[in-house]
Amino acid sequence: MELRDQHGIKAGNSTARRKYEYWVEGKREVEPLHGPLQRRFVEFLAGREIDCVQDESYVDIRYQQDGVEVLVEVTPTANVDTRYAIRAAVGSTSNTG
């Protein structure tokens, strides 16, 4: 059974809707915090009358502000070290050739 089937993940760049565990520098539990955090940020933008696009081309949130396109990667850090979350959000360029 694929990870997405086991953990309620909708599509390739969608987030989990149920808690699951994985191993990285020790066992970690992942709570489905991404969705609520993303919703809160979209509400924050809407409160400032900023329109945005969500979950398109593997970008969590995309919007324009002062003529600049802003790309947002939502990465909750409640259950992982902040440094790990930032590395996971940015990714690694060492394997891109």
**Structure confidence by residue, pLDDT tens digits, 39-95:** 999 999 999 999 999 999 989 999 999 999 999 988 887 767 788 777 777 765 554
Q: 39 lies in which domain range?
A: 3-90
Residue 34 has pLDDT above 70, yes or no: yes
CA 52 vs. chain centroid, Å, equals 15
Q: Which position has the higher pLDDT, 41 or 2?
A: 41
Tell me if 95 is assigned to some domain.
no
pTM: 0.59
Please, is 37 exposed, middle or buried when counting C-beta atoms within 10 Å of its C-beta (0-12, 13-18, 19+)?
middle
Tell me if 96 is assigned to some domain.
no
> Is the distance from CB of 72 to CB of 41 less than 8 angstroms?
yes
* Number of domains, the chain: 1
Tell me if 71 is assigned to some domain.
yes
**1: confidence class by pLDDT, cuts 50, 70, 90:** very low
- Taking the C-alpha atoms of residue 18 and residue 85, their distance in angstroms, rounded to an integer, is 19
Residue 27 has pLDDT above 90, yes or no: no
